[in-house]
Structure formats: structure tokens, C-alpha cells
Chains A and B, each alone.
Chain A
């Protein structure tokens, strides 16, 4: 999986990551930001780059189509 975790010991609930994500992977429930659609993450790292607290970790693996691997040309 591309996006792996939000470290809630560092997260200040500023919601910058919510606005960073082109694919609307995050949702806010109460005060907390959740990874609601992690299977749609494209591993573009914008949320991790924008997070002022360093609270997000995105893994290097290629994203998927809702969990399905993307076909390659050969």
C-alpha cells in the first residue's frame, strides 16, 4: 500500500493533508483525519511533503486501482 500511516502522536489535526490529496483519500471524522480510501492512493507524496509535523508516511510502492495492480505494456 502506498499511504501507510498517520502518526497521531505528531498529528495536530491541521487538515493540510486533506487538501493536499488529489484523490481525496482522507476524511475527517470528529477532529481526527483518517485514511479512508488508502487503496486509491497514487503514492505521489504531496501529503507527506506538505505535512508540517512529519506525521505521515507514504510507502514507495506503486498505487493500485482499488487494490488491483495496474497492467504494464509488456
Chain B
């Protein structure tokens, strides 16, 4: 290594706590850590308050109020999450979400932001969407994130924006720093930290749906490469969206009387979910949509003709992006049914991610995770709308607090910039810029999407379809490794592709391993929920550059246990239920 450090590290930044990601989880973590007087730096690939999916959260935020019976919430969440929830995490969210949310509300009021919808007396309004005996409140996401940005600044958090983190620096099993580059000018950033919180969101696979195209699992992938353990990757998240346009707001649409009909005009969701029908969980919807279409009863439409005038007004207020789009496209969503499709996201809201305990610790010392970067431990499969924001806020505060405590007990700043490890990672970071003739990131990303997104891989999975996808992805690996970048903006896309690819691999192997159906994971060849042999979490760890290690562990059930050995999974009509050994 003849080159000296100064010739290539443009910015060396030291912090007690480094937070990666500036959505609700990241800002919550940074603020909490800063309140303990830790020196906090927050690095974001975009700009805090306009980054991540928190800003696009479509109005729904689930909060258990102090007067609500915790047992009712616990039962509803664990049943909806099909017993794959970490019940200790469910409890942590239910215990903490009210005070954490009221703090966000007070901060908003201090700066004149109306974050949560209130009635004339000033009480927060409560509504219900996919909720049975629980409730959500209505959040205005843009003011919420504007407020969080202001509060973080006020508490002394240092922002480093337009910097993409790509590598963790690890010494003796302990995370001591992060490497990244400026997405506009390519300058190199090396951060030293006593503890690190990863909170840069999920991985949307750059597929359809609003506002997630820069969420590419950057934190999960960077941690996976250093030996971090991921969990539940087969529980890929999904939403649903208009076939023609990327809009959001489904929770409010179906919560206000919108319903799904198929090509025959039937309100088919009642066959899949006799209680909630069109208000069913996203996992019910996407598998049911795929089945209706694959069995010749498509397409599926969202019919909002019966929504009340008052609810139409509320939606316009809470979902400005959505209605701006529909107005421009000259679509009145309340006049006629709109074709609706599943929107696949590799991991967003629900879905797998970094395995964390209730202190937000990963298996790597000094490394914490919050929000969508985690394996959605509260959700299990998927509980109901509004729990993503609740988890982002609660896990953010917990991660920030515990990371600050860790930093306080770590007397030395261990980062030594001029090591072989740092030099090798810098070379790796700029690798795509050194490749003279390779495919472009866009080209390869499109190929990767066409392997993963078709419904036999995403929604109606079989051993055959998954094995085919694994082999196609493995054939694509050489192109992923040789992707080229001619300037910093393209280097971002090159790393986004590499991150998506490694998570997609983990997803396919986890989905192949789970021989039952539960949540977003539906197996045509195992169309039942098997609580006898599969009440298990699937873990993934990179054993080497070439190989993923997969193993399972029984899900602890301290509060609630499934009543049935075998059950009807989402997306299977009740009258067609099979048990192992039976043929359909």
C-alpha cells in the first residue's frame, strides 16, 4: 500500500454514536442518543426528512393507548402475525409506543407542525383499518419528518447527507466504523464510532409502488457481508398498487369502504378472509390477487364508489402525493373501479432483515439496528397497517439509548484509518469505477427484477420456481460483480444492485427452505400452515463470498401459542383447505 491515507480519505469523522439512515427510526435513534450527551453523527444517502419511506407513510400509525387492554392488542398482533412474531418485541412496542408517539406530537407542536389528526377538543382521532379490536391514528408524514429533522438539529446531531454507506469496519468482531462515499462528488468518507445504529430502511427491489426506489437494503447487505445474522427473509413484504400509477394510501382506501372486486364482479376477498374481506392483511391480498388472476378470474379492481364525502376529503388531505397524481392523470378514483395489482418489495414494512434482540443489538458487537432494517420482529408475518411506523419510532428510541450506553462504556475510539482492512474496503468500494467495460447497473437491475418479480417466485411459490430463480440469479452473479460505474451517481446504482442481489439470494434460499405457507410466504406445494414442524424462524448468514448458511430455530411462545397444528394460510380459500398428505 504505497498510497498514503490522506490521498484517498477525503473526510474522517469521529462520533460516539453513528446512525445510518434519517427516516423515523434513524432520527429517533439519533435524538435519543444525543439526549444522553453522546456526540452523534447521522449519515444519509439522501437528505434527512426526504429520505426513506417514513415520509411516504400513508396516514396510518398504530398506537396502543394507556387505556387499551394490552392483552387484546397482543392477541390481535400475534394471531395476525401467525405466531411468527417475537412476542417480547410485541410487548416492547405496545409498552413504549404511546409515550414515544406523544413525544413526537409535542415536538411537532413546539414547531407548529400538526402531525397527528385531532378532533375539536384537541384529542387525537382514532380509526380502524385492518384492525379488529385495535386502532390506529392518522399521521401527516411530511410535517412529522420536517419536525424530526428540526429536533435532531436542535439536539446537536451532526448530519452528513448525500453519503452512501457501503462497508462496515470491524475489528476483533466489534464494529468500529463505516465507510461510504458522497453520491454527488464521489468523495470518500470514513467514520469512526464507538457504536453504530443501522436504520436505513428496507429493500424495495426498485419495483413498483411510491417512494422506495432508493431503498435497496444497503444496511442489511453491508452487515451481512461482515457476518451479521439476518432472519425471516422469506417473509418478503408487499403492498398493492394501481396497475398504471405509483400511488399509496391503501389502508385509508379500504378502511373507508373501498373494496376489491375481480373480473367477474365478485367481492372475492370474503372467500380468503371471512372476517376482514377487502380489509385483509397485505399478505392475504397479494396471494389472493395472484390466485384470482392465475385461475382466470382477473383482473382485480379497487372499487371506491361507496366512500363517503367526508372520507374523500380526509384522504385528499392526508395523501397529497396520491391525489396530485390522480388529478394530473384525470382520474377520479371514486367514479369507477381502478385496476389493482400486487406491488412486491423484497423487504419493506414487513419482511426479513437484521436479527435483533429487544435491545436492538445485532450479533456483531457495537452494531445496533432499528426500524425497517430489522427483521420486523413485532410483525411475525404481518400484523396490520400502521405497525411499521410504531416499530420505527420505538426501536429507534431503544436503539439510540442502548447504542449511547454502549458508547459511554467504550473508552477507546478504536478506528485506525491506515490499516490493510480499510485500504481493501476502499478498493472494493471504488471497484465498479475501475471496470472499463462492464454492463450498466440499470441493465443488470432490470434482469434481476425479471427473475424475482413474476408471481410464481413472489406469491405462488413452488420448489421448481424457486430453484429456477436461484439458478438464474447465480448465472447473473458475474454481471453483478462486473457492473461498471462511470461517475458517482452510477456508483450509487452499482452498490444498490450489489445489495439487492445479495438480499435476493438470501430470500430465495430462505423461501426454498420453508416447506409450509405462512404470511407472505405461500408455497403451492405446501399449501398449509404447519405449526407442528414450522413454528420456526429461518436465519441467514454469509458463510463465505459464495455460500449462504441457513438454519432454523423454534419461535419462543411465552404468551400465546397456536391452537391448531395445521391451519389455513393467507391466500387459500377456507373451503379448499388441505392438510399434509391430502391432494387438492
Contacts from A to B (Cβ < 8 Å): 19-24, 27, 36-37, 40, 42-46, 48-50, 59-63, 65-68, 70-74
Contact = CB atoms under 8 A, between A and B. Distances in A.
8 tightest Cβ-Cβ pairs between the two chains A and B: A66-B442, A60-B329, A42-B213, A73-B455, A60-B328, A22-B46, A68-B446, A45-B321
Contacts of B47: 19-20, 22
A61 B243 CA distance: 11
B320 A49 contact: yes
Contact of B184 (A24, A42, A74): A24
A13 B97 CA distance: 41
Contacts of B454: 71, 73-74
A73 B243 contact: no
A24 B243 CA distance: 26
Contacts of A46: 50, 55, 321
B301 interface: no
Contacts of A23: 46, 213-214
29 contacts: A19-B50, A22-B50, A22-B213, A24-B183, A24-B184, A24-B489, A44-B56, A44-B211, A44-B321, A45-B321, A45-B325, A46-B55, A46-B321, A50-B50, A60-B325, A62-B246, A65-B442, A66-B493, A67-B442, A70-B449, A71-B207, A71-B446, A71-B453, A72-B341, A73-B341, A73-B454, A74-B290, A74-B341, A74-B454
Nearest to B326: A60
B342 interface: yes
Contacts of B142: 49
Contacts of B344: 73
Given A43-B246, A44-B210, A21 B46 contact: yes
B449 A65 contact: yes
Contact of B211 (A22, A27, A65, A66): A22
A67 to B, nearest CB: 7
A71 B537 CA distance: 30
Contacts of B563: none
Tell me the interface secondary structure of chain A in the complex: loop
A65 B445 contact: yes
Contacts of A21: 46, 50
Given A24-B183, A62-B208, A73 B214 contact: no
A72 B453 contact: yes
Contacts of A45: 320-321, 324-325
A71 B448 CA distance: 10
B172 interface: no
Given A45-B325, A59-B328, A62-B244, A71 B210 contact: no
A70 B207 contact: yes
Nearest to A18: B47
A24 B50 CA distance: 11
Interface in B302-351: 320-321, 324-326, 328-329, 341-342, 344
Contact of B446 (A20, A59, A61, A65): A65
A72 B293 CA distance: 13
B541 interface: no
B392 to A, nearest CB: 17
B321 A49 contact: yes
Contacts of B329: 60
Interface string B439-481: 0111101100110011100110000000000000000000000
A3 to B, nearest CB: 12
A20 to B, nearest CB: 5
A42 B52 CA distance: 13
B572 interface: no
Nearest to A48: B324
Contacts of B325: 43, 45, 60
A60 B442 contact: no
A70 B291 CA distance: 22
Given A44-B321, A73-B290, 19 more contacts: A19-B50, A22-B46, A22-B52, A22-B213, A24-B489, A36-B489, A37-B489, A42-B212, A49-B321, A60-B329, A66-B440, A68-B443, A70-B207, A71-B453, A73-B344, A73-B454, A73-B455, A74-B290, A74-B341
Contacts of A36: 489
Interface in B165-198: 183-184
B162 interface: yes
A59 B342 CA distance: 23
A63 B324 contact: no
B294 interface: yes
A65 B210 CA distance: 14
A42 B453 CA distance: 18
B342 A73 contact: yes
A66 B56 CA distance: 22
A74 B294 contact: yes
Interface string B208-249: 101111100000000000000000000000000001111000
Contact of B208 (A48, A49, A70): A70
